[in-house]
Amino acid sequence: MLKLQSVRAWRPNLKSCLLCTVAVLVADASATAAFARQAAESAGASDTVDAIVVTGFRKSLADARAIKRESVIQKDAIVAEDMAKFPELNLAESLQRLPGVQINREAGEGRRISLRGLGPDFARVQLNGMEVLGNVDSAQDSRGQRSRDRAFDFNIFASELFSRVEVEKTFEAAQNEGGMAGTVGLFTGKPFDYQPGSKGALSLKLGTNQYTKDTQPRIAALFSQNWDNRFGVLASIAYAKRQTTEQGHNTYNYSHPSASTMNSLVTKGLDISKLSAAQQAKFVSGDLYFADGNRLSSWDAKMERLGITTAVQWKPVDNLLLTLDGLYGQFTTHRDELHLATRPLSSTGSVAFDTAPGGVWPTVFQKPSVINSLAYDSNGYVTSMDVTGTTFGSEHRRSLNKNRFRQLALTGKWDATERLTFDGHVGYEKSTYKTPYDDKLYMRAKGNLIANYGADGQSASFQYPGWDPTNAANYAMDSFYYRSFYNQSELREGVLNAHYVLNDTLTLRAGAAYHRFRQDGKDLFYDDNVNGTRAKARGTSVGDITTVFSNNFGSWLIGDYAKAFAKYKEYHRLGPNTDGTGGALQDIENVYTTTEETVSEYVQLDWDHELFGKRLRGNVGLRGYQTDTHSTGWIQGDSYAYLGTTDVKGSYSGVLPALNTVLELTPEVQVRFSATQNLNRPGMGSMAAEGTAFKDPDSGVITASRGNPNLKPYKDTTLDVAVEYYFGKIGMFSASVFQKDIENFIGSLTLENVPFSQTGVPFTTIPGATANTIVKEFSMPVNVAGKKKLTGVELAAQADFTFLPAPFDKFGAMANYTYVDADEALTGISKTSYNATLYYETDNWGLRGSLSHRTRWYTGRNASPMSASTRGFEGSTYVDAAAFYKISEKLQVSLDAVNLTNQKDTQFWGQNRYLYNQNQSGSTYMMGLRYKF
C-alpha cells in the first residue's frame, strides 16, 4: 500500500517532465552529434529500387511487404500507391484485406473493425502515434446509434489523407499498453517523405449510387515543399459529399404478451373468430411470441466529410528532427429515417393487432382488428399473420449529427551521441459528437397487413391489401418528439523514449509516457408525454402536411416538417413552447464525466545477431503502468428525476512482460515467436458513475445501481507463432497461429440488504435515508473470475503471375484466410473470414477486383433460446472493383465500384436467428481524374 501511495505522489512531477521534455530537447540539442539515419536511408534505397521495378498497386504491395518483413513484432501494413492515392476509398475496406481483420459496413461503407478474435472495443487506433478515440454515430438503434465506447469509426477520415496504415498484432514493451486485439496505426504524409523540391497531387472524382442516384463529388489535394531535407511543409485536404440509403424490413424483436393480456384484448373486441379452435386457444394462451414493429424502413442520409492535414518538419542541425502534425476532421450527417410500422393504440407492444382506442381518434381507427390467419413454429414464434384493421405508425425522424476531430502533435528525434538517441512526442486531441436536433414527426394509419417471415422466421415480406398507404384519409396526426445529444472526448499525451546502442548487436531502450483521457456528455429527451404536442395534434387530419415517400420496397405517406411545424406552430425545442404548451424538460440521461490518467514506463532490450549462422532479431521488455480513474454521474429515479450526483474514484497498476523474436532460417524464410501480456481498459459505459435509485411508494423497498470506475482492465496472455516465406518482388506466403487467455471479464454483481454507505450512491438521493439505510438490491458491473480463451489461425499469400506467358504475366493476386475458435462470451468476431484480390496491371492501365467474406457473428449471447439478448449478423460477401488508365505520366483516370452485388445486411435475434433487421444500400460507382506534379 505504501508503495502505491509513493508512486502516485511521484506521478505529477513525472507528468510535468514528460509534457515538457520534447520542448527541452529543442533547446538543448547538440549540433556536434551526427544524426543517425541508417534505417531511413535503407528504406529510401529500397523505395528507389522498387520505384524502378514496381509501380502502382504492385509497389503498394511491395512496400507493405517490406514493412512486415523487417518488423520484429507481428505486423501487417498497407501503403499508399502514390501521393493522395490510397488503394481503397475507405480505410476500413483496405484493412479488411489483411489477415485477422474483419469489418462491418453501414450504407455500404466500412465503419469499424474486429481484429484477431476480439470486437471493435479491443482494437486500438493511433493517429501519428497518438491514440484516437472517435465518437461513433450509426443510423440504427440496433447497431448502437450513439455509443460512448473505445471503438473507432473509420468513416470519420478520408483515405486520401493517409500515406500508410500499419496493424500491430503483437505487443512490445515500447508500445503504450492497451488495444488487446492489436493496434492500428494511421500515418499522414510528411514533407521529408518526398524528394527535395515541390510535389503535389490533385484528385477529382464523381460518383453515384444505384438507389440514391445523386452526384457524389470527392476531391483531394496534397502539396509538399521540401527544402533540401532541412525544412519542409505539407498540406492536404479531402472533401466528399454523398447521399446514402439503407432500405428493407425489420422488427423491434418481439412481444410475448401474457394469457391475461391476450384474453383482455379479446374481451375488448379483438376478433379471432376466423381462427380454428386450436389456434384460438393458442392465441390466448400466452405462449406465442409476436414480431414487434413489422416495419418497412429507409435510413436516408446526406453526408459531408472534410479532412485537413498539415505537417511541418524542421532539421535545424544534422542530429535533430522536429515534426509538427495537425489534423482536422469534420463529418456531418443530415439523416431522415422513414418508417411504416405496426404501432397499436390500445393493445400491447408494437404488434399487428389492436382494439378500439376511443378518445380523439377518427372513426376509421375505432374498429378492433380481425385476425384472419396466423402460423407459428415449434417455439411459439408467429411466422406469418393476416390482419384486417392493423394500426400503423408513420415515423419521420430527422437529425443533424456533427462529428469534429482535432489533433496537434509535436514529435522530436535527437541523436545526442553516436550511441544515444532520444525521441518522443507531446500532443492534444479533441473529438466532439453533437446532435443539435433529433426529432420525430409521428402519424398513425389504419389498414390491413399480411406479414410473412418465412417458415423459419428468417426472412420478411409485407403486403398491404385492401387499402392505400398513400391516401391521407387513412391517416391521422399523432405528435412530435424533440431530442438532442452531446458527447466529447479529450486526450493529452506525452511520450519520451531513449535508445542506447550497447554494441553492434544490442540496443537498450527505455521510456515513459503520460496519458490523460476525459469523456463527458448528456442525452436530452423531450418526448410527447411532456412537450404538449399530443393535445394540440393528436387525431387531426394530415392531408395538408404529408408527402408520398417511396423506396425499393414500398410507398407510404410521411410527415413534412416544414408544413407540420407551420400548421401546429411548432419548432425544435427542449422547453415550453412560446404559446405556453409543454412542461419542463425532465428526461436527461447518461450524464457523466469519466477521466483516466495513466503514467507508464518501460525498459526493453533489442538484439540483432547471429545464432548458429542464422540471423536472430528480437526484443524483450517490461512495461509498468499506474492508472487512476475518476467518474461523476447523475443518479436518477422515477420519471428520470435527478436525485443527486455520485463521485467514485478507482485505480489499478501492473507490469506487462513482452518477448518477440524473429529467426531467419534462410534469406527467404523466417519464423516469428511472441509471448506477451497486454490489457484493454473497461468500456466507458461500465465505468460511468451514473446510476439509479428508487423507493417503492408502497413497500418502502429501495433499489439502486451505478457504474464502476474501479473496474480492472481486461488482461491477456498471448502466444504467437508465424512462418513467412518471401520471394520475387512482392511474393509472400505466411501462416500464423495465436492463442489468447483473457481474464478480468466484466459481469454484473447484485448485492442484497446492504447499507447505503457501501453502494457509492449518495444516500441523499432518497429523502429521509441515511448512510445506514438498507438498500434491498444494489447492482453494478464487476470483474468476474476465470479466463476466456481464443485460438486463431491466419494464412496470407500474394504473388505476381510472372511465370505465365504474356499477356497473362501481368496478373497477380493476394488472399488471406482467418479462423478463430473462441469462447462464446467473446462477441463481435466471425469464426471464419477470407479476402481475395485479383489484379492485372501494366505500366499504363490496370484493374482489380476484391471479394471479402465473413461468416455469422454475434454481438450478444444469452442461454435462453428466445432471448433478444442473443443477437448478431448473418454472414456476408462484398465485392468491390477498381480500374485505372494513364493518359500521361501525370494524368490518370480511374473507376471504382463498391458493393457490386448489393449485399444484404441481415441482423437476427434469438438462438433461432429470427429476423431483426435486413436492408440493402445499393452499389456505388465512382469515376475520377488524378493529376500529379
Residue from 310, 314, 308, 358 nearest 328 by CA:
308
pLDDT band at residue 54, thresholds of 50, 70 and 90? low
User: How much is the pLDDT for 80?
Assistant: 92
Q: Is pLDDT at 24 greater than 70 in this prediction?
A: no
Residues 6+ away with beta carbon under 8 Å from 281: none
Per residue in 601-644, pLDDT tens? 999 999 999 999 999 999 999 999 999 999 998 888 877 778 88
Per residue in 872-894, pLDDT tens? 999 999 999 999 999 999 999 99
pLDDT band at residue 44, thresholds of 50, 70 and 90? very low
**C-beta separation of 685 from 708 below 8 A:** no
Mean pLDDT of 69-82: 94
**C-beta separation of 243 from 300 below 8 A:** yes
Lowest mean pLDDT among 756-765, 816-825, 844-853: 756-765
Per residue in 518-570, pLDDT tens? 999 899 999 999 999 999 999 999 999 999 999 999 999 999 999 999 999 99
Mean pLDDT of 820-831: 91
Percentages of the chain per state (helix, strand, coil), in multiples of 5? 15, 55, 30
Residues 6+ away with beta carbon under 8 Å from 699: none
One DSSP character per residue, 790-851 reads EEEEEEEEEEE-TTSPTTGGGEEEEEEEEEEEE-TT--S-BSEEEEEEEEEE-SSEEEEEEE
Residues 6+ away with beta carbon under 8 Å from 378: none
| 653-683 core/surface letters (b: 16 or more CB in 10 A; e: else) | beebebbbbbbbeeeeebebbbbbbbbbbbb
Cell of 214: 445523386
Mean pLDDT of 676-692: 87
Cell of 319: 542530429
User: How much is the pLDDT for 144?
Assistant: 59
Distance of alpha carbon 385 from alpha carbon 376, whole angstroms: 9
Distance of alpha carbon 292 from alpha carbon 224, whole angstroms: 57
Q: Is pLDDT at 105 greater than 90 in this prediction?
A: no
Burial class (CB in 10 A: 0-12, 13-18, 19+), 9: exposed
User: How much is the pLDDT for 231?
Assistant: 98
One DSSP character per residue, 170-226 reads S--TTSPS--TTEEEEEEE--GGGS-SEEEEEEEEEEEEETTT---EEEEEEEEEEE
**C-beta separation of 819 from 849 below 8 A:** no
| 724-756 core/surface letters (b: 16 or more CB in 10 A; e: else) | bebeebbbbebbbebbbebbbbbeeeeeeeeeb
Sign of the CA dihedral with 27 first, then 33, 39, and 43 last: positive
Residue from 106, 444, 82 nearest 246 by CA:
106
pLDDT band at residue 104, thresholds of 50, 70 and 90? confident
**C-beta separation of 426 from 882 below 8 A:** no
User: How much is the pLDDT for 137?
Assistant: 66
Backbone φ and ψ for 192, nearest 5 degrees, come out as -80, -5
User: How much is the pLDDT for 640?
Assistant: 76
Per residue in 140-174, pLDDT tens? 666 655 666 677 888 888 899 999 999 999 999 99
Backbone φ and ψ for 376, nearest 5 degrees, come out as -145, 160
| C-beta neighbour count of 243 within 10 angstroms | 18
User: How much is the pLDDT for 344?
Assistant: 97
Distance of alpha carbon 461 from alpha carbon 548, whole angstroms: 21
One DSSP character per residue, 867-902 reads -TTSEEE--EEEEEEEEEEESSSSEEEEEEEE-TT-
Q: Is pLDDT at 58 greater than 90 in this prediction?
A: yes
Q: pTM of this prediction?
A: 0.87
**Percentage with pLDDT > 90 across the chain:** 77
pLDDT band at residue 761, thresholds of 50, 70 and 90? confident
Mean pLDDT of 382-398: 98
pLDDT band at residue 683, thresholds of 50, 70 and 90? confident
Per residue in 833-849, pLDDT tens? 999 999 999 999 999 99
**What are the distances in angstroms from CA 916 to CA 137, 856, 863, 912?**
20, 14, 18, 11
Cell of 211: 438507389
Q: What is the mean pLDDT of the chain?
A: 90
Distance of alpha carbon 530 from alpha carbon 615, whole angstroms: 73
User: How much is the pLDDT for 8?
Assistant: 35
Peptide bond preceding 807 in cis form (omega within 30 of 0): yes
Q: Is pLDDT at 850 greater than 90 in this prediction?
A: yes
Which DSSP letter does residue 154 get?
A: G
Residue from 763, 757, 744, 520 nearest 630 by CA:
520
User: How much is the pLDDT for 590?
Assistant: 86
Cell of 787: 479466463
Per residue in 348-378, pLDDT tens? 999 999 999 999 999 999 999 999 999 999 9
Cell of 807: 499477356
Lowest mean pLDDT among 3-17, 405-419, 606-620: 3-17
Answer left, alpha or beta for residue 144, where phi above 0 means left and psi between -120 and 50 means alpha.
left
Cell of 305: 466529410
Mean pLDDT of 215-229: 96
Which DSSP letter does residue 928 get?
A: E
User: How much is the pLDDT for 37?
Assistant: 34
Distance of alpha carbon 64 from alpha carbon 166, whole angstroms: 9
User: How much is the pLDDT for 142?
Assistant: 60
pLDDT band at residue 85, thresholds of 50, 70 and 90? confident
Lowest mean pLDDT among 283-287, 296-300, 781-785, 836-840: 781-785
Q: Is pLDDT at 453 greater than 90 in this prediction?
A: yes
pLDDT band at residue 825, thresholds of 50, 70 and 90? confident
Higher pLDDT, 25 or 815: 815
The angle formed by the CA atoms of residues 330, 327 and 45, to the nearest 5 degrees, is 135
Which DSSP letter does residue 437 get?
A: E
Q: Is pLDDT at 225 greater than 90 in this prediction?
A: yes
